Amino acid sequence: MQELETYFSTLFDGRKPETLYAPIAYTMQQAGKRLRPQMVYHVVEMFGGDVSQAQYVAAAFEMLHNFTLIHDDIMDKAPIRRGLPTVYQKWNTNSAILSGDALAIMAFQQLLKLSVNEKTILQIANVFATSTLEICEGQQYDMDFETQEEVSLEEYINMIRLKTAVMFAGCMKSGAILAGADQESQEALYQVGINLGIAFQLADDLLDVYADSSVFGKSLGGDIRDNKKTYLYLMAIQEADAEEKPKLKQCYESSDLDFEDKFRQVKAYYERLHIAEKTRQAIHAYLDKSFQELDKVKVNNEQKATLRKIIADLEQRSK
C-alpha cells in the first residue's frame, strides 16, 4: 500500500487554487484504514493480475470513499473524523462541498489512466459509476429515515447495502475484472463485498455506542445525538415490549434531554434488551455469508488467505 500513499502524496502538489485542493490533500493524507483499496489489490493479486494497474482502480475507490465522507460530515454535522476536525469545520461548508465535488471527479479520472484494453476499462467504469449512484441512493434513504415514522430492519439493511456495502463490492468486482477473473468469481466476490460491507456498517453502529473513543477516532453517541435510526435502535424498537417501546422512542427522539443523559438512558435500554449481543450475532452472520461466497471463487485456498483474514478481523473491529 506504500505506493498508493506515495501516489496520493504527490497527486495534489502544485494544483491551483490551493483553497480547492488543500482540503482534498488534508482528507486524503489522513490515510484511515484504506480497507477499500486493499480489497482491490488483494483481489488483483489473488488472480495474478497486474498490480501496477491496480493502483488506479484502488485510488479511484479510495477517493470516492473520501468524497462521501466530506459530504456526509456536513450532512451529519460531525465535528471530528479520524481524530481531526472535519473538512467543513477546518475550512467552511462551501469549501467542503466544492472540494468534495472535485475529489469525486478526480476519482473518475483515475480510471482513464488505466493501460488495459477498452472493454476492461468500460466494465470497471460501469461498476464504479453504478456504485457511485447507489451510494447516493443509500444516503438519501438514510436522510429520509430521519423523518420517516417507521423504518423496518429490512429497510435499514437495504439502505446500508447501498450506502456502504456496494463500494466494498465494487472494489472486489473491479479488481477481479482488472485481473481477468471468470464471471462466476466476479459475482461471488461482489457478494463477498456486499456481506462484508453490511457487517462493517453494523459494526460501525455498534462502535458508535460501545467503542473506546480514544481508539475509535470520533465522538461516541453521534447517532443517538442526531436521532439516527441505526441497527441498534431499530432492533431495540423491535425487541421492546408494549410498555417499553414508547418510552424508548420518546427518549431517543427527545430534544430536551441533555446529551449525556440521553446517551446514558438509551444505552441502558440497549443493555436491558441485549442489543449489543444481538448486533454482534448479526455481524457474525453476514461475515459467515462472506466466507460462503468466497468459497465460490475459483482460486485455491492459499490465494484466498488474505481476504479470509480481512473478513475474520472485522469481527474484532475496534475502530
Q: Is the pLDDT score of 1 beyond 80?
A: no
pLDDT digits (tens, 9 = 90+) for 194-245: 999 999 999 999 999 998 776 666 678 989 998 999 999 999 999 999 999 9
> Strand 80-81 relative to strand 84-85: parallel, antiparallel, unpaired?
antiparallel
Q: Is the pLDDT score of 76 beyond 90?
A: no
* 118: confidence class by pLDDT, cuts 50, 70, 90: very high
Max Cα distance, the chain (Å): 63
Residue 113, helix vs strand vs coil: coil
| pLDDT, position 82 | 85
| pLDDT, position 217 | 60
Task: Tell me, yes or no, if the two domains 1-31+51-115 and 116-319 fold the same way.
Answer: yes
pLDDT digits (tens, 9 = 90+) for 10-37: 898 889 999 999 999 999 988 678 999 9
C-alpha cell at 49: 493480475
Residue 240 vs residues 203, 243, 270, 312: alpha-carbon distances, Å = 21, 8, 10, 31
Instruction: Tell me the C-alpha distance between 6 and 234, whole Å.
Output: 42
* Domain limits, the chain: 1-31+51-115, 116-319
CATH number of 1-31+51-115: 1.10.600.10
The CATH fold of domain 116-319: Farnesyl Diphosphate Synthase (1.10.600)
